Amino acid sequence: MPRFAANLTFLFRDLPFLERFEAAAEAGFLGVEALFPYDDATPEITRRLKMHGLAMVLINAPPPNWAGGARGFAAVPGGAERFQKDFRRALRYAEALGAQHLHIMAGKAEGLVARATFVDNLRWATAQAPRTSLTIEPINPGDMPGYFLNDFDMAAEILDEVGAPNLGLQFDMYHAHKITGDGLAAWAAHGHRARHVQVGGLPDRHEPLAGEIDYPAFFRQLDAEGYAGWVSGEYNPAGRTADGLGWIG
């Protein structure tokens, strides 16, 4: 079976953030990720990681305030200065936490100028952090209207255009299925680019159990293909998180 991580922004939300690390470890997760952990001091998060034997798998680049905030700046024309400032801050956090991946959010934008902006900012970021694994993630427009990176073929083209060895695909099966109508076919086409996988049930983004994707078969496929990265649960639990963890075996 793959190595499973818990997205602590989504899971165990009945607990304060810093208490979710212990809950994740007790549930059997080996790693965790968080969208924006910037409200807590890195020494305290690091202490929780070490205390519970967890790897920090991934964090998102800012904005730090998700509620009502922007969805990134990397593809927003005229936002290079803001992007670079926020990226440097995110990189400091990622390094302090030992995060294995840093997800760069594109933001809300459209058109060729936005595409060129995204490529330029990704080239800058990969040069600034040559030893850090950076990711980009297509997100479906139903969940995030106006988000620039909403297509897997475009993501592949941009990865090729940037051409940096430290930049790869963050593949969320929930978003892939929503975008393409066939998440498994999207994996067949683009999975070789993936350095991080996220899962959530279809169609309602609950537990990756029964639904439109046969997740046990997908996990077996990852093993057969030699996928060595993490698989993170990024979904909205239908009830208590602990009651819906049959998917991690």
pLDDT for position 71:
77
Looking at the predicted structure, is the pLDDT value of residue 126 above 80?
Answer: yes
CA max distance for the chain = 47
> Catalytic site residue 234?
yes
For 4, list phi and psi in degrees, rounded to 5: -105, 140
Half-sphere exposure of 94 (CA within 13 A, CB side): 25
Average pLDDT over residues 223-237: 98
SS (H, E, C) the chain: CCEEEEECCCCCCCCCHHHHHHHHHHHCCCEEEECCCCCCCHHHHHHHHHHCCCEEEEEECCCCCCCCCCCECCCCCCCHHHHHHHHHHHHHHHHHHCCCEEECCECECCCHHHHHHHHHHHHHHHHHCCCCEEEECCCCCCCCCCECCCCHHHHHHHHHHHCCCCEEEEEEHHHHHHHHCCHHHHHHHHHHHEEEEEECCCCCCCCCCCCCCCHHHHHHHHHHHCCCCEEEECCCCCCCHHHHCHHHC
Q: Domain map of the chain by residue range?
A: 3-248
Active-site annotation holder among 137, 157, 207, 212: 137
- Angstrom CA distances, 41 to 10, 45, 53, stand at 20, 7, 19
Looking at the predicted structure, is the pLDDT value of residue 69 above 70?
Answer: no
pLDDT band for position 1 (50/70/90)?
Answer: confident
Looking at the predicted structure, is the pLDDT value of residue 162 above 90?
Answer: yes
Averaged pLDDT of the chain: 95
pTM of the complete model beyond 0.85:
yes
pLDDT band for position 68 (50/70/90)?
Answer: low
Condensed to tens digits (0 to 9), the pLDDT of residues 37-48 reads: 998 999 999 999
pLDDT for position 54:
99
pLDDT for position 137:
99
Active-site annotation holder among 157, 161, 225, 234: 234
Looking at the predicted structure, is the pLDDT value of residue 63 above 80?
Answer: no
* Cβ atoms of residues 234 and 200 within 8 Å: yes
For 128, list phi and psi in degrees, rounded to 5: -70, -30
Query: What percent of the chain is predicted at pLDDT more than 70?
Result: 97
**CATH match of 3-248 with 3.20.20.150:** yes
pLDDT band for position 65 (50/70/90)?
Answer: low
pLDDT for position 217:
95
Looking at the predicted structure, is the pLDDT value of residue 231 above 60?
Answer: yes
pLDDT for position 143:
95
- Say which range, 6-10, 36-40, 57-61, 108-112, has the weakest mean pLDDT: 36-40
Average pLDDT over residues 134-153: 97
Condensed to tens digits (0 to 9), the pLDDT of residues 84-104 reads: 999 999 999 999 999 999 999
